[in-house]
Structure 1
Amino acid sequence: MNLFLDTAEIAEIKKVHDLGLLDGITTNPSIIAKSGRKFTEVIKEITSFVKGPVSAEVLSTDSANMIKEGLELASIAENVVIKVPLIPEGLKAVVEFTKKGIRTNVTLCFTANQALLAAKAGASYISPFIGRLDDVGYDGLDLISEIREIYDNYGYETEILAASVRNPIHFKEVALRGADCATLPYSVFEMLFKHPLTDIGLSKFLEDAKKLTW
């Protein structure tokens, strides 16, 4: 499963990139607004060193302007993926982007029906928001399983990019259920390394190492 970071913070991206574990980046207007920087400037900086997919979201809600903005974003770098909301105008734009060979990430997916429509439109990625479904009393992980089964039934090549991943259990479960990618906040990425027995074992190894000569 590919590991994406859901952030526009350059320092966080570089930390994971330097570990050699980073497969891609997802951003959205809310994330980039927190940086206080110009939207396209942030995307340019990220793509200057991240070579995997970098999702950049359009700001309009009508297909004509989505396409206009998407073409501008796609011109920044070859690895920019145009992120569009899962609304009729968004899927209309996806069809056009697909014809032009531009990759897309359809976001704000909350049902298997929506995911099926996105795949039919030619989306490169579908982003089911599992944590937000949990927040309103649904099991977000079941959605990953449903989409996986539907895509496998019909041979859709759209990749499942699990989003709104809130904790290490989410990360493990989307992997078990066949997600192609998961995008994480940096705080959740750090949690993936943590286990008390790892800490205890390392402490013991370091104590014993003091008794050794090299």
Structure 2
Amino acid sequence: MASKLDQLREMTVVVADTGDLEAVRRLRPQDCTTNPSLVLKAIGSPAMEEHVARAVAEGRAAEDPVGRIATILTVGLGAELAGIVPGRVSTEVDARLSFDTEGSVRRAREIVDEYARLGVGRERVLIKLASTWEGVRACERLAREGIDCNMTLLFSLAQARACADAGAWLISPFVGRITDWYSKKEGRSFGPEEDPGVASVRRIYDHYKRHGIATVVMGASFRNTGQIEALAGCDRLTISPDLLDRLAADEGPLARALEPVAAEAEPEPIAEAEFRWEMNEDAMATEKLAEGIRNFHADALKLEALIRDRLAA
């Protein structure tokens, strides 16, 4: 029997949640997605030393050398990944711009331009934005310019509805972080069929399919293979190399868990007041969104500190 990973590939587009070039070459995902934490980890590996040295040399004379080198490193890693995978590579806008629509749009354009400089067209790139109201508005503007977005740090149906209204190309509803929150709150673990993170993605997937929404649903942030198997059939799943390896080693049967349904009606758009109220009423989504933004920003600051150290050396 084929491995569970091969079976999963028959029903779901598999995306690698890593910046590890060797892991991507070995696991052969369709797409790659990165975030500041993954970029920081990749840049810190010995295999990337030459890449870091070139970036520092190239950006040293810039008006903002730290910012320029960070861009070269981040987009350079993305370009390397784009040379391996046949599909798209996601690159994140700075977390500190999560509540700044104008700043997010400017930064997204800079990222796309940097990719173009390296020979990677915008059709191969997804701009990752936090699913705040301001991030959603940035996505809406970028979509009109032909720049596709991956809306990340998504924990609720309200966020998913807003992203669909804005024309997001893809959303990344998180599974594991939702599960973590409820496990801590209730003091227990969850099996796949009762897992609140799994249930959240299933609810979003069902809403999108019932309303004929074209935005791609890509489950993310997995803690175990059981969560992945419970979402088999989702449009896309972004999975860490460790969990991909476990799926590749398992030759048991894998049943499809999610099936698209016939669209019924156009969805009602979500207004800003409703979005903010729904988020206010959802303590988990509010807390995990804020925590995710803080954590991504913390890793961006670590990357900047690493660059300053290299400039001073």
TM value normalised by structure 1: 0.84
Cα 1:195/1:95, change in 2 over 3 Å: closer
Which position in structure 2 is the counterpart of 1:173? 230
Q: 1:136 aligns with which of 162, 177, 181?
A: 181
Of the three residues 91, 97, 119, the one matched with 1:56 is: 91
Once the two structures are superposed, what CA deviation does each residue of 1:103-145 show, in whole Å capped at 9, x if it has no partner?
1100011111111111111111111110011101161011111
More contact order relative to length (CA 8 Å, sep ≥ 6)? 2
Q: Does 1:190 align with 2:245?
A: yes
Alignment of 1:8-23 (within 5 A): 8-17=19-28, 22-23=29-30
Q: Which moved more, 1:110-119 or 1:71-80?
A: 71-80
Flag structure 2 segments of 5+ consecutive residues without an equivalent.
1-11, 44-51, 53-72, 183-194, 253-313
Distance 1:57 1:185 in 2: 17
- Tell me by how many angstroms 1:166 deviates: 2.1
46, 51, 55: which one pairs with 2:81? 46
Q: Provide the rounded CA distance (Å) in 2 between the counterparts of 1:47 and 1:24.
A: 8
Size of the aligned set, in residue pairs, is 192
Which TM-score applies when normalising by structure 2?
A: 0.58
What is the aligned partner in structure 1 of residue 58 from structure 2?
Answer: none
Q: Is the 8 A contact 1:107 1:127 kept in 2?
A: yes
| Contact persistence 1:9–1:35 (CA under 8 A) | yes
Displacement, 1:98? 0.7
2:211 corresponds to which residue?
154
The alignment partner of 1:71 has SS state of: helix
Identity, % of aligned positions? 29
Query: Which residue of structure 1 aligns with residue 104 of structure 2?
Result: 66
Say what the alpha-carbon RMSD is for the aligned residues: 1.8
Q: Counterpart of 1:101 in structure 2: which amino acid?
A: G
Give 3-state SS (helix, strand or coil) of 1:188's partner. helix
* 2:125 is the counterpart of 1:125: no
Higher strand share: 1
C-alpha distance in structure 1 between counterparts of 2:244 and 2:223, whole Å: 10
SS class of match (2:249): coil
Q: 1:194 Cα deviation (Å)?
A: 2.5
